[in-house]
Amino acid sequence: MSEFWSVIFSEEFLSTVVRVLVPLLFASMSAYIAALAGIPNIAVEGIMLMSALFAVLGSYWTQSSWLGLLISIGAGLVMALILILCTINMGTNPILVGIALNTFAASFTVFLLYMFTQNKGTSASLASIVLPIVNIPIIDRIPVLRAVLSGQYTVTYLCIVCMILLALLVYRTPLGMRMKAAGLDERAAKTAGIDVNHVRIIAVLISGLLAALGGAYMTTGYLSIFTKNMIAGRGWIGIAAQAMGGTNMLGVAVTTFVFSLFQAITNVFSLYDLPSELINIIPYVGVLLGIILFSVSTYRSGKKG
């Protein structure tokens, strides 16, 4: 057991947590911005899967990792567009569209993979290119900080930039306020003169962009090959984190961090002789307990208040 603690309190573990955190953070922020504006995006998992594949295909076609990244973002935006069209223009329930898009993405990625590689399992035969690992000169000599900020994949740094921009958008710009208003009460927002649809479209597009970056991370650095179903539920964990945090961005971020901590721990745990199925449900139990505690305390404070 002491082995366990010495592994947890190491720089490598911190690095692991950061590595695991990035896709989850992109997923939860993607779910966050869409839910904030009033259109829950359940398709995060599907968008991540599509963009992961297109990052590989894109860099293979153009032989440039950056163009590949752009193409994968494009794929994510197209998925978001379908969500918008079906929800806003056709009035379909966004949850239904989300479920349909997820199912679609799971099969369509295999279909595309097969069309371009004659292989339904992985893209290993394609010479796709990854984005570089970035080492920052001075930071990489500071003990703990270097595990977090240096020697990480390119998209990790994009993640940091996106989080800052998103926080600014939501909390400091009029557009962010309009999004929140649209999400809180559509009719009131319209009465106040806000073009709810316009604002929601932007929110969902941003949501698609973030999810796309999360998917691209998986194949442009974390791994260099696309394998079918490789997102493996990370999108769903992001959605769960958003459900915990609600409209509070910090809450969502903290929850996501806790989940990545759990995931990183389960990677260490899996080497010990504990039933893996039970270990794997730890994050979900965590959210459930969190939601229960949160709701109970809200209820209690409501009663007292």
Partner 1 sequence: MKRIFAVILVLMTVFGLFACAKTAAPATDATAADATTVAGQTETTAEPTAEKVYKVAVLVPFIGDQSYFDSVNAGRLAVEEYPNVETTLIEMGEDKSKWESYYLDACEGGYDLIVGGNNDAEEYFYAAAQQYPEQLFFNFDYVNHVDLPNVFAVTYNTPELGYVAGTAASLITQSSMPKANAEKIVGVVVGMDFPAMNDFVSGFCQICYENGVQVLIGYPESFTDSAKAKEIALNMYAQGADVVWQVAGGAGLGVFEAAAEADKYAFGVDSDQTIALSGQPNLAATIVTSFYKDCGASVKYAVDMLIAGTYPTGAQTLGIKEGAVGLIKNQQYIDMVPQDIRDQIDAQVAKVAAGEVTVISALADDAAWQDIKAKATAPLN
Partner 2 sequence: MTKRKFTLAGDTAFETVKTILAIFIALAITFCVLALTCENPVASFVTMLTGPLTKLRYFGNVLESMVPLVFSGLACSLLFRTGLFNLGIEGIYYIGGVICSYIACQVFGNSFTHPLVAILVPALIGGVLMLIPGYLKAKFNANELVTSLMLNSIYLGVGLWFIKTYLRATDYSSTASPLFTDTATLPYLIPGTRVTIGILLAVAAAFLIYILLFKTRLGYQIRMTGLNPSFARYSGMNAMSLFLLVHFISGFLGGVGTSVELLSIYSRFSWVALPGLGFNGALMAMMGKNNPIGVLVVAFGISYLQIGAEIMSRSTTVPVEVISIVTATLVLLISAQYFLRGWREKKLLKEGLLHV
- The secondary structure of 277-303 as a DSSP string is HHHHTHHHHHHHHHHHHHHHHHHHHHH
Helix and strand element counts for the chain (H, E): 14, 2
Which of partner 2, partner 1, none does residue 121 bind (CB under 5 to 8 Å by kind)? partner 1
Stretch that binds partner 1, among 140-148, 175-183, 204-212, 273-281 (CB under 8 A): 273-281
Tokens of 235: 């999108």
For residue 101, state whether it binds partner 2 (rule: CB under 8 A). Answer: yes
Question: Does residue 161 bind partner 2 (CB under 8 A)?
Answer: no
C-alpha 143/C-alpha 119 separation (Å) is 44
Residue 103 CB, nearest approach to partner 1 (Å): 13
- Per CB under 8 A, the list member of 240, 249, 253, 265 interacting with partner 2 is 240
Looking at the Cβ atoms of 127 and 192, the one nearer to partner 2 is 192
SS3 143: helix
Distances (CA, A) of 184 to 29, 124, 141: 18, 46, 46
What is the rounded distance in angstroms from the CA atom of residue 12 to the CA atom of residue 253?
22
Q: Which of 29, 19, 64, 85 is nearest to 212 (CA)?
A: 29
| Window contacting partner 2 (CB under 8 A); options: 14-22, 63-71, 177-185, 284-292 | 284-292
Q: How far is the CB of 12 from partner 1 (least distance, A)?
A: 5
Cα–Cα distance for residue pair 165/218, rounded to 1 Å = 22
> Which of these segments, 66-74, 101-109, 143-151, 172-180, binds partner 2 (CB under 8 A)?
101-109
| Cα radius of gyration (the chain) | 20
Q: At what angle do helices 174-184 and 11-36 cross, to 10 degrees?
A: 70
Tracing tokens 């569209």 back to the chain, one arrives at 97
Pick from 266, 278, 302: nearest CA to 20:
266
Residue 278, binding choice from partner 2, partner 1, none, Cβ under 5 to 8 Å by partner class: partner 2
Shortest Cβ distance from residue 281 to partner 1 (Å)?
11
* 258 lies in the site for partner 2, by CB under 8 A: no
Q: Which does 268 bind (CB under 5 to 8 A by kind): partner 2, partner 1, none?
A: partner 1
Task: Give the SS3 label for residue 43.
Answer: coil
Q: In this structure, what DSSP letter does residue 226 have?
A: -
Whether 205 contacts 77, CB under 8 Å: yes
Dihedral Cα 31, 123, 262, 164, nearest 10 deg: -40
118 contributes a contact to partner 1 by CB under 8 A: yes
Among 64, 93, 173, 270, binds partner 2 (CB under 8 A): 93
Asked if 115 touches partner 1 (CB under 8 A), the answer is yes
Stretch that binds partner 2, among 60-68, 73-81, 167-175, 276-284 (CB under 8 A): 276-284
When asked if residue 117 is in the footprint of partner 1 (CB under 8 A), the reply is yes
Q: From the list partner 2, partner 1, none, pick the one residue 271 interacts with, judged by a Cβ distance below 5 to 8 Å according to partner type.
A: partner 1
For residue 221, the one-letter residue type is G
Binding site for partner 2 (CB under 8 A): 40, 86, 88-93, 95-97, 99-101, 103-104, 106-108, 110-111, 114-115, 120, 196-197, 233, 236, 239-240, 243-244, 275, 277-278, 280-281, 284-285, 287-288, 291-292, 294-296, 298-299
